[in-house]
Structure 1
């Protein structure tokens, strides 16, 4: 177990503007963990963490993917990345695919809801997910909240990869981003970058923020 302070929200530098959103989701959904995970060829790596399980899920911690090894149980997030689609597991202990997975065995978190996140080209690069230690459902409102947050992560990744953010970061994400306004922290993030004031003004006029 890490020596990190309990319940301490943490993120990579690029996702720092979203820390408040992570905490809000953990509190409102009442889950043990809210994560943003980065997909590497052989592992899933924590990029942002909030909730009671931050000691277990620290930024930089990695879980090894099962890949083609049929003797291993795949990671929840690995499945999300591979399928580029949402995944809900009510109770992995009773699930043919995920029973005995790493999060269940090591941390007792057998409930999972996750969504893919994408870079500016639309490639799946990771996940946004919540985990809990109770076999529970998620309401449509809770699912929409997580989906909206995944859209904000998409946008943050797109913006951080460019010297000057381009409209492509926003034009292909209407499904998620039309559900809720972009968090004020993202606006602050844009304004902190050189030559991005014009973009913030444009988005404000169009109702994005």
Structure 2
């Protein structure tokens, strides 16, 4: 099950709608006529680009991870949990140590926080430009609407995982039931075949449980 301390790019079941998110960010970047747009995830290890707009001008690919202590625009958004719009970073000394500004040449940033269904910070959705900008309210509203779509997808994913977990585990013990065992076993068998590894199965038969089960 996907949790806030896990990178969504490491999720192996393919339930995260990455292709949909990619289209969303590509459209956002085109509407803004911006060289880069992103969905960035926050985790204890730092900040990871989940989705990166597809222009050749974009210096960051999906999967790039930046340490948590780096002075980033997205870090500020996660810390404050509110909109951050920097029309021209060159006029604010605070951003001089931001590698996006000092190394990559970005000048403008517009980003909003994205949250997990639990309310914990997921990360950000943002658009960046090498030139100073003057975005009006309609542009901010557009990013806000796109952010809401991402959060809605995370809620759907969370509910799906909850229902799936209920269907495959025993309510009392939390252990896999028959359906869960076969589902997980099939995944491991497929992985073993691809990796040419051996699998082993250990099982135990415990006596005297009828009295416990009948309680």
Task: Name the TM-score class by shorter chain.
Answer: 0.5 to 0.7
Equivalent runs, 1:8-47 vs 2, <5 Å: 12=9, 14=16, 15-47=18-50
Structure 2: tracts of 5 or more residues without a match: 1-7, 164-215
Inter-partner Cα distance in structure 2 for 1:98 and 1:107: 12
TM norm structure 1? 0.65
Inter-CA distance 165–135: structure 2 relative to 1 (3 Å threshold): farther
The count of aligned residue pairs is 150
Partner in structure 1 of residue 142 of structure 2: 145
The yes-or-no answer on 1:117 pairing with 2:114 is: yes
Inter-CA distance 160–144: structure 2 relative to 1 (3 Å threshold): same
TM norm structure 2? 0.64
Structure 1: tracts of 5 or more residues without a match: 1-10, 67-72, 167-209
Residues 32 and 51 in structure 1, CA contact (< 8 A), matched pair in contact too: no
The yes-or-no answer on 1:85 pairing with 2:88 is: no
Moved over 3 A (4+): none
Cα deviation per residue 1:147-171 (whole Å; 9 max; x = unaligned)?
Answer: 10011111112222332689xxxxx
Inter-partner Cα distance in structure 2 for 1:43 and 1:18: 21
Between 151-160 and 14-23, the greater mean CA deviation after superposition? 14-23
Cα deviation per residue 1:92-146 (whole Å; 9 max; x = unaligned)?
Answer: 1211321231111221112101100001111111000000000111111111111
Partner in structure 2 of residue 206 of structure 1: none
Residues 92 and 100 in structure 1, CA contact (< 8 A), matched pair in contact too: no
